[in-house]
Amino acid sequence: MKPFFKNFDWLVVLAITILLLLGLTMIGSVAVGLWPQQAAYALFGVLFFFLVSRLDYRIFQKLAGWLFLVALLALLSTFLFGQLTRGSIRWIQIGGFAFQPSEMVKPLLILIFASFVSSQTAFSLRFFFLNLLLIFVPVLLIFRQPDLGSSLVVIFVWGAIIFASGLTWRWLLSGLAIAAASLPVVWQILKGYQKERIYTFLRPFSDPLGAGYNMIQSIVAVGSGQLIGRGLGRGTQSHLRFLPERHTDFIFASLAEELGLVGAGLLILAYGLLLWRILKVSQNSADNFGFLICIGVFSLIAFQSFINISMNLGLVPITGITLPLVSYGGSSLIATMISLGLVESVARKAKPKEGLEIR
């Protein structure tokens, strides 16, 4: 039994457990009918976490080309077999189970990006354009669903892996310049409701019963929780359904209302612990591929949790990004657990060195 858990990072498991329990607690409070499904998703997620942690992550480096093909086919299948929901084609229904390919491919994309970047010995113009092509195709397919939130997550993860690999300031500034120059084009291809979300963020109280309603109700819910919250099942914003998507996009607002600053603080501390341990694993990784996998998973969880919480606080526009391990939904939860399983796989093969600093 000891070899099974050799170099296993139990603090990662502790942080995951806290976040899963907080998520299940809140779903049981604000959407009790969905609790059995979420509990099943959590069990499957834990199973995938331990299964992936047992694999040698290095085998995926040789399979990166095939993984890229699988990811593209999964994203293309959305347009062939997906169901139209609220103007978007993001979900594929198989029997009684629905899954979201744009969520499930995130661990694959982390492996693909990490493999490609770690195989390069030096930055060059060819490397730069190949990287752009590598990110352009999956992001385009995700954006066309349309799913702006997942597109931004994938771009951020890709950028973090590139930066962590030792990108020089010359290439970084060039990339930022290209991104800035492309903003007018991006604005033109945004959907009308996506532009409206940005306008609403800038002036939320200009239409409090219309476009600004979601953000205002979220801010009210967070503020009404005060120090210790109203108590489970007593949140007026969530239980009277003033708060939209109270179990998915705005579950942090539901938690803050019912558990207060104490509950919200515990959740943020759990994310802090999880992210810190991922960085510690990356420090001791046996190779650059493992290091970049950890950076990819770190950026995935850090970006999603930061954007979701900030969105609930009215600090950024509403994007539809879920709170990792906490929001309702099987695709996001299982994909995140698989990603964390990859981190544990890197930890199992780690070679600790004294005084090693984050690269």
pLDDT number for residue 26: 94
Contacts of 291 (CB under 8 A, 6+ apart): 164, 282, 285, 346, 359
Check: CB of residue 103 under 8 Å from CB of residue 335. Answer: yes
| pTM reported for the whole predicted model | 0.88
Cite the beta strand spans of the chain per DSSP E. Answer: 82-85, 88-94, 97-99
In the chain, what are the domain boundaries? 3-348
In this prediction, the residues of the chain whose per-residue pLDDT falls under 70 are 1-7, 84-88, 95-96, 121-124, 167-172, 174-176, 179, 183, 185-211, 351-359
Q: How far apart are CA 64 and CA 40, in angstroms?
A: 30
pLDDT number for residue 298: 97
